[in-house]
Amino acid sequence: TTAQVAQAPEDPLFGLMRAYRQDSSDKKVDLGIGAYRDDNAKPWILPVVQKADAILHNDPNLDHEYLPISGLANFTAAAQKLILGADSPAIQENRATSLQTISGTGAVHLGALFLAKFHPRRPTVYLSNPTWANHNQIFTNVGLAIDKYPYFSAQTKGLDIDGMLSALHAAPAGSIIVLHACAHNPTGVDPTQDQWKQIASVIRERGHFPFFDCAYQGFASGDLARDAWAIRYFVQQGFETCVAQSFAKNFGLYGERAGAFHFVSAAGPDAATANRNIASQLAILQRSEISNPPAYGSRIASIVLNDPALYAQWEQDLKTMSGRIIEMRRGLQQRLEAKGTPGSWNHITSQIGMFSFTGLNEQQVQTLREKWHIYMTKNGRISMAGLNTHNIDYFAEALDQTVRE
Ligand code: PMP
């Protein structure tokens, strides 16, 4: 009976947030959760989102009716163009279908569920080692087997491209390979364009299915097209693929749960028909999962994405966020190098996006928390947005002393 259900452990990341909130020190620093903070450690509502919100509230026709099952059409069409590129061959050839989802998590889940149900062989899903912890649970929960491929090199604090390529080569033909499109979480390490081509070539050779997770488009480099490069390259190569797209970070719409799932059928004469069939099955899955996606976040994103002036302002807002993070990366590296902190620290600026994988061990992470009131995940990942001009000196000093202990 249900009386035998054991207590599950608390989600480590949300447990960390709770511990931070309960810490009464005025020195405390939150480097845990991946949400953007301004220079005063406060959440930042993008100015363009404020504008879109005002437009929405002045709309006399606005109501609270259900959205269609596949979501707001103006939103999904714009989201598709944003990620695949307006001139994408997949859009021109009618072989891309898109549904609005419960942010990026819901998109990964819908893709996982679709593959678990409709892939004829239910192949193993290969995840990068390490990866966003939720990937493990999402794919396992739909009944797919998971395995890992090497990704991060502890020595170079960069990509282990040889390990990755040989694991993809050794994986059973037709496996599902989950790839972070940009700003890899948790490492901040991305393949170069040349390395992406090598990855695509192994995936092609082994007949694998590339599954892209894109949670940081525009947030990583400040350049929307550049952050979507890998996805667009695979699509141009004619791959069958899918993309989970989140608008949590790049619009600051975390709690509004705005996202999309895109399925791109392989190029070929039957692609459009195959894609229409897939769209019809995805709609049935969506109906049983959530019936219809939430309206507010997708309305905001849709207003911005479909208006050239607002879109331009959004690009500025993205540069504000990514620019401040890049400044914090430079500032931290400079401070550690000036102090002569043991170790090399150039990975802080070569890594990209929301996070830096510092290389701190579990013991050091614990010291930083207990002695210095600095909170980060056990694997030594820090959210760069948690640093600002008021706490960066304190953090650099704490890190320096902890490493020397
Ligand atoms: N994938 C990755 C790799 C992520 O880092 C995140 C955000 N933490 C997500 C997906 C999805 O987040 P959300 O559901 O908030 O869009």
Give the orientation angle of helix 73-84 with respect to helix 229-236, to 10 degrees. 90
* Beta pairing class for 258-264 and 241-246: antiparallel
Q: Which of 246, 393, 273 minimizes the C-alpha distance to 334?
A: 393
Domains 10-45+322-404 and 73-306 share a fold: no
Instruction: Give the domain ranges of the chain.
Output: 10-45+322-404, 73-306
Active-site option among 30, 190, 213, 227: 213
Report the alpha-carbon distance of residue 327 to residue 84 in Å, rounded.
29
The alpha carbon of 74 and the centre of ligand 1 are apart by a number of angstroms equal to 23
Architecture per CATH, 10-45+322-404: Alpha-Beta Complex (3.90)
Average pLDDT, the chain: 96
Q: What is the pLDDT of residue 333?
A: 97
Report the alpha-carbon distance of residue 262 to residue 81 in Å, rounded.
11
Residue-wise pLDDT for 346-380, tens only, equals 999 999 999 999 999 999 999 999 999 999 999 99
Residue-wise pLDDT for 83-136, tens only, equals 999 999 999 999 999 999 999 999 999 999 999 999 999 999 999 999 999 999
Is 249 marked active-site? yes
Report the alpha-carbon distance of residue 134 to residue 157 in Å, rounded.
22
Residue of the CA atom closest to atom 7 of ligand 1? 215
The CB of 317 under 6 Å from ligand 1? The reply is: no
Report the alpha-carbon distance of residue 383 to residue 369 in Å, rounded.
15
More confident site: 12 or 240: 240
pLDDT band at 221 (very low <50, low <70, confident <90, very high): confident
The alpha carbon of 108 and the centre of ligand 1 are apart by a number of angstroms equal to 9
Contact 235, 334 (CB under 8 A): no
pLDDT band at 9 (very low <50, low <70, confident <90, very high): confident
Report the alpha-carbon distance of residue 42 to residue 33 in Å, rounded.
13
DSSP strand E in 236-372: where?
241-246, 258-264, 355-357
Is 117 marked active-site? no
Instruction: Tell me the average pLDDT across 238-246.
Output: 98
Q: What is the pLDDT of residue 15?
A: 86
The CB of 248 under 6 Å from ligand 1? The reply is: yes
Report the alpha-carbon distance of residue 145 to residue 139 in Å, rounded.
7
Handedness of CA 103, 107, 113, 116 (dihedral sign): negative
Is 11 marked active-site? no
Report the alpha-carbon distance of residue 375 to residue 197 in Å, rounded.
37
Report the alpha-carbon distance of residue 371 to residue 373 in Å, rounded.
6
pLDDT band at 14 (very low <50, low <70, confident <90, very high): confident
Residue 1 above 80 pLDDT? no
Q: Does domain 73-306 have CATH number 3.40.640.10?
A: yes
Q: What is the pLDDT of residue 55?
A: 98
Residue-wise pLDDT for 304-326, tens only, equals 999 999 999 999 999 999 999 99
Query: Percent of the chain beyond pLDDT 70?
Result: 100
Which of 185, 214, 247, 381 has most ligand 1 atoms within 8 Å of its beta carbon, as the pocket-test mutant?
185
Helix (H, G, I), strand (E, B) or coil at 10: coil
Helix (H, G, I), strand (E, B) or coil at 122: coil
Atom of ligand 1 nearest to the CA of 254: 15
Residue-wise pLDDT for 24-34, tens only, equals 999 999 999 88
Is residue 177 within a helix (H) or strand (E), and if so which, with residue range? strand 176-180
Q: Which residues pair with residue 391 across a beta bridge?
A: none
Q: What is the pLDDT of residue 12?
A: 83
The alpha carbon of 215 and the centre of ligand 1 are apart by a number of angstroms equal to 5
